[in-house]
Each structure stands twice: as structure tokens, then as C-alpha cells.
Structure 1
Amino acid sequence: MPVSIESLGIDQLSVRERLDLIEQIWDSLPDHINSDEVPAWHLAELAKRRAEVDTAPREGKPWREALARFGHE
């Protein structure tokens, strides 16, 4: 059975519940992943973004800090 948002019932969740689920899934990922588990285009995109960050001025705040400012945690 293929996994989809419909088969898992995610489409029935509220936006807040979906965001909470995204955070839970993100937090469940291991700190280190074998590169053979990641599609090549993901690795290429990460390399591109790292290069952009290395050359971009340092602005902004971590998303958790930004959310905390508005009373979300």
C-alpha cells in the first residue's frame, strides 16, 4: 500500500495538527543519514544552499526563536 496523506488520514488534520506532525517527523530524523538514503537532487540542493549561506550576509533568526517571539513553541 503506497503511503499518502489520504491513506494516513493527514488530510483530515487541522493546519496546526499538520504543522505539529511535520515537527515530530523532522525531530524523528537521525542526526546522520547515509548519503545513499538521500536522492541526488536533495544533495545538490543542499550544496547549493550551503554555498548561498556561506556568501550571504548573516541576517534573520532561527525559526524556533522567531516563533517564540509570537508566543508559539
Structure 2
Amino acid sequence: MHRSIQELGIDRLSVADRIALAQEIWDSIAESVQNTAPNAAEIAELDHRLSEDENAPESAIDWQQIRSAALRKWSQN
């Protein structure tokens, strides 16, 4: 069942209230996902990534390098 924001009256809310509602919806989704066990395909992918990391730890990229590259790219735009 798909209902539009107009049918639900969401379009009549203030921007601040719509943002707060979106955050509440996002939080409820995150909570639901957090309480859901990974399926077989997800477990297989995690096992594959762990195996790759254990076999070639030097190929990992440090978070600070990723963050710095992203910030440089963002500041160029």
C-alpha cells in the first residue's frame, strides 16, 4: 500500500517537522535492520571480504586516507 505525502498530510508540515519525521522514519528503519540477522548471501560476502583482508592486509586503505581523499575531492567542487 503506497500512500502519497499529500494523502498523509505530510506536505502540510513545516520543513522542520518534515525533517524530524524523516529522521524518525530513518531511525526506525535502522533499528529494524539492526535487529535483522544477515542472510546467506550477506554472510558469504562478509566471509569473502574477511578472507581477502586476511590474505592481503597490505591492500587495505586507512580510513584517514579515504577521508582525506574525499575531502579533497569535495573541496574541488
TM-score bracket, shorter-length normalisation? 0.3 to 0.5
Higher share of residues assigned helix? 2
TM-score where L is the length of structure 2: 0.42
Which of 1 and 2 has greater Rg? 2
